[in-house]
């Protein structure tokens, strides 16, 4: 072979090599394989923390390393935590509107099977007087006078209040004597059905926000009962029904109250209208209603304080807020919800009576049913107030507010009682709650 021929063969081989490398590169790229050197798990984590990891790569990294992801409990939590630091704020003197971030990190937790979630939320409540009743009835086929005496004792020491215990017991006696009903299962069913009758008051059910636009909901209640949390959950519930919701930070008592509502605003992507700390709650609510009308919001939910800085009576202040609502939009507030905390037991009934003497409200939200054995108080509230429970709070998550359905609730409350649940563990702090309240 001549020198020239050797040179041609070498050049040919070089060209072939280049073409082959090019083809391999194109094929790998089409197959979606990253051309960048693979990152180590540590690098992936570091990049994610710096926000430098593109979503697809993030997902791939998570899929590739389930153990590493599972070992980081902080990762799933951002579902509910607003991560972007910058908040868009529009200021129109003297009130402010906090607009939600463009892409909040909220993902609504998929709703569990409703009845199952309700049962789980009521587990502690079932551990109260219902469990005691259950133990009383366990293994009994007949009801005799002795058992009836014990039944009376359980009812009268329950958190449902004396009046309601009396009503239940009287109804039971009347029923027993009338039909000579002696069967334990039937008595159990009777107590359940009578409880449902107590809970099933007129004008109950979930809020129908289509009645007006903007539809104004005012929330009232003493401090700490769960007003702000309920507002956040209610906003999410109404949004799921297609409503555009605006929040009004009518609790001007402390800055933290406004911030707390803003967190819920970010979670639910609902703007928050707020005023100055210590300012007039009525003007905040007035402005929110006006703004809702101008900007096409369907619903305004207003927060209010549970206590005040000044000597102004809380009830007077709330009455003023109601009057101002009506000035801003005739007929508003369309619903006023009194929020009560189930862990307060019978004190919740006295709170409700105090509010009822001072002002009108159209429904009750009973919160924290998930955390107490005193949930039976719901019977006392409905029997004594004759104002329907509209929603119940069974946890702190955004989807832990449930429209109240007496039949569904009664069924969940009295379910499995004949299996005699074990003695409930009375939480220590609940006794403290009682003393405070
Ligand atoms: N377990 C449980 N906790 C709840 C529920 N509702 C509210 N909470 C908690 O109760 C506490 C008080 O709730 P808030 O919403 O701040 O109560 P508030 O009535 O607005 O209180 P003030 O602003 O002080 O008047 C918070 O820690 C809530 O997370 C519920 O249904 N279940
Ligand atoms: Mg609050």
pLDDT computed for residue 58 by the predictor: 35
Q: Given the structure tokens 């809970």, which residue do they identify? A: 199
- Report CA-CA distances (Å) from 44 to 38, 118, 170: 10, 40, 68
pLDDT computed for residue 2 by the predictor: 61
User: Which one has a higher pLDDT value, 250 or 107?
Assistant: 250
Ligand 2 center from residue 306 Cα (angstroms): 7
Instruction: Express each pLDDT in 3-61 by its tens digit.
Output: 667 666 666 666 566 555 555 454 444 443 333 333 444 443 444 344 333 333 333 33
Token pair for 48: 């994610």
Mutate to test the pocket of ligand 1, among 229, 252, 392 (most ligand atoms within 8 A of CB): 229
User: Which one has a higher pLDDT value, 248 or 431?
Assistant: 248
Query: Stretch 280-285: mean pLDDT, rounded?
Result: 95
Q: What is the mean pLDDT of the chain?
A: 77
Token pair for 11: 């050049």
Instruction: Express each pLDDT in 126-158 by its tens digit.
Output: 888 888 888 888 877 777 778 888 888 999 988
> Which atom of ligand 1 sits closest to the CA of residue 224?
21
Ligand nearest to the CA of 314: 1
Ligand nearest to the CA of 391: 1
pTM of the predicted structure, to 2 decimals: 0.73
> Which atom of ligand 1 sits closest to the CA of residue 367?
31
pLDDT computed for residue 181 by the predictor: 58
> Which atom of ligand 1 sits closest to the CA of residue 392?
31
Instruction: Express each pLDDT in 175-200 by its tens digit.
Output: 766 555 567 777 888 899 999 999 99
Residue closest via CA to ligand 1's atom 26 equals 226
- DSSP summary character for residue 277: T
* CB under 5 Å of ion ligand 2: residues: 227-228, 257
pLDDT band at 427 (very low <50, low <70, confident <90, very high): low
Ligand 1 center from residue 307 Cα (angstroms): 15
Q: Is 93 left (phi over 0), alpha (psi -120 to 50) or beta?
A: beta
Percent of the chain clearing pLDDT 90 (strictly above): 49
Strand bridging mode 299-302 / 215-220: parallel
Residue environment code for 358-388, b if the CB has 16+ CB neighbours within 10 A, otherwise e: ebebbbbbbbbbbbbbbbbbbbbbbbbbebb
User: Which one has a higher pLDDT value, 361 or 18?
Assistant: 361
Residue closest via CA to ligand 1's atom 13 equals 226
Query: Stretch 81-88: mean pLDDT, rounded?
Result: 35
Ligand 2 center from residue 107 Cα (angstroms): 23
User: Which one has a higher pLDDT value, 389 or 147?
Assistant: 389
Cα–Cα distance measured from residue 393 to residue 224, given in angstroms and rounded to the nearest whole number: 14
Phi, psi at 39, each rounded to 5° = -90, 150
Residue closest via CA to ligand 1's atom 17 equals 226
Ligand 1 center from residue 210 Cα (angstroms): 28
Ligand 1 center from residue 238 Cα (angstroms): 19
- Residue 393: helix, strand or coil by DSSP? strand
Residue closest via CA to ligand 1's atom 29 equals 396
> Which atom of ligand 1 sits closest to the CA of residue 303?
20
The binding-site residues of ligand 1, defined as CB within 6 angstroms of any ligand atom, are 221, 223-229, 251, 257, 260, 306, 367-368, 370-371, 393-396, 400
Query: Which run of H or of E encompasses 403?
Result: strand 401-403
User: How many C-alpha atoms does 246 have within 13 Å on its Cβ side?
Assistant: 28
Ligand 2 center from residue 193 Cα (angstroms): 36
Ligand 1 center from residue 224 Cα (angstroms): 6
Ligand 2 center from residue 252 Cα (angstroms): 10
């Amino acid at each position: 072979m001549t020198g020239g021929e050797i040179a041609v063969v070498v050049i040919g081989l070089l060209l072939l090599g280049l073409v082959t490398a090019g083809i391999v590169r194109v094929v790998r790229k089409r197959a979606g394989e990253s051309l960048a050197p693979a990152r180590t798990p540590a690098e992936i984590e570091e990049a994610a923390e710096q926000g430098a990891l593109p979503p697809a790569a993030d997902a791939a990294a998570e899929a590739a390393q389930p153990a590493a992801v599972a070992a980081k409990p902080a990762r799933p939590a951002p579902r509910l935590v607003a991560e972007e630091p910058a908040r868009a704020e529009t200021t129109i003197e003297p009130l402010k509107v906090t607009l939600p971030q463009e892409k909040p990190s909220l993902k609504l937790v998929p709703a569990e099977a409703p009845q199952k979630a309700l049962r789980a939320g009521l587990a502690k409540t079932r551990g109260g007087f219902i469990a005691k009743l259950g133990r009383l009835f366990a293994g009994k086929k007949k009801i005799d006078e002795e058992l009836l005496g014990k039944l009376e004792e359980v009812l009268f020491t329950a958190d449902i209040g004396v009046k309601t215990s009396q009503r239940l017991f009287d109804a039971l006696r009347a029923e027993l004597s009338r039909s000579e009903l002696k069967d334990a299962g039937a008595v159990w069913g009777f107590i359940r059905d009578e409880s449902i009758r107590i809970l099933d008051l007129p004008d109950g059910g979930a809020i129908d926000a289509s009645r007006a636009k903007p539809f104004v909901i005012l929330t009232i209640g003493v401090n700490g009962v769960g007003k702000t949390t309920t507002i956040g959950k209610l906003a999410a519930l109404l949004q799921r029904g297609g409503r555009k919701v605006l929040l009004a930070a009518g609790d001007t008592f402390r800055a933290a109250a406004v911030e707390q509502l803003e967190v819920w605003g970010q979670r639910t992507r609902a703007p928050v209208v707020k005023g100055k700390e210590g300012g007039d709650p009525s003007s905040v609510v007035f402005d929110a209603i006006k703004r809702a009308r101008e900007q096409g919001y369907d619903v305004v939910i207003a927060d209010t304080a549970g206590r005040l800085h000044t000597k102004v009576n809380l009830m007077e202040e709330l009455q003023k807020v109601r009057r101002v609502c009506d000035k801003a939009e005739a007929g508003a507030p369309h619903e006023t919800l009194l929020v009560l905390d189930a862990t307060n037991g019978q004190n919740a009934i006295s709170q409700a009576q105090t509010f009822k003497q001072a002002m009108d409200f159209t429904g009750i939200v009973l919160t924290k049913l998930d955390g107490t054995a005193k949930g039976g108080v719901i019977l006392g509230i409905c029997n004594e107030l004759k104002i329907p429970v509209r929603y119940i709070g069974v946890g702190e998550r955004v989807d832990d507010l449930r429209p109240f359905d007496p039949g569904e609730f009664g069924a969940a409350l009295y379910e499995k009682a004949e299996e005699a649940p074990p003695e409930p563990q009375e939480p220590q702090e609940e006794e403290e709650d009682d003393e405070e309240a």
